[in-house]
Amino acid sequence: MNSLADPTAIGAHSASVWSGHIPALDGIRGLGVILVLIYHYGGSAMALGLGASALKLTGLGWSGVDLFFVLSGFLITGLLYDAKGKQNYFRNFYARRTLRIFPLYYFAAFVVFFLAAVTGFGLLGGANPAWIIFYVGNFQMAIEGGGSILDHFWSLAIEEQFYLVWPLIVLAFSRRTLMF
């Protein structure tokens, strides 16, 4: 039987979409992961004998992070728009974001800080822990360059900075204006 003609199949799909999970976006997430991996590990293509054509693919890898940012912006905008006008709009949003990201982020950062202090290895490069603690490591990288084992935290810093501003914008503007 065609799943479109089966009301239970449609209902099951609708429940999934309304719960906040859009299955089709999982493929886009997977593409983003593959692009990032190609970017970071594509240099190994020559060692594997894959040659110049494989190295050309590594040039596309940077777009994986951009893809994640666009996808995140889309999903966060939907969550915020659905919560718009409800009680505790800001509190609920920031509590969810904080519980989702902060524990693992700070655990990983403090493990690196501890290991750097105990071992004396240059794990932090020139990174100042304060930049990491306050989610502004992306600014330090832009000003001073990278070289830390925590350089990849730049994307989380940008995401957290987005979370500071975007809920205000969604609250201030109509859906029509947001979707211009």
The tens digit of pLDDT for each residue in 20-52 reads 678 888 889 888 888 888 777 776 666 666 666
Report the 10 Å Cβ neighbour count for 119: 9
pTM of structure: 0.76
DSSP string, 65-96: HHHHHHHHHHHHHHHHHHHTTSTTHHHHHHHH
The pLDDT of residue 115 is above 50? yes
The answer to whether 73 and 162 are in contact (CB under 8 A) is yes
In tens, the pLDDT along 137-149 reads 999 999 988 888 9
CA 83 vs CA 72, 92, 180: distances in Å: 16, 9, 20
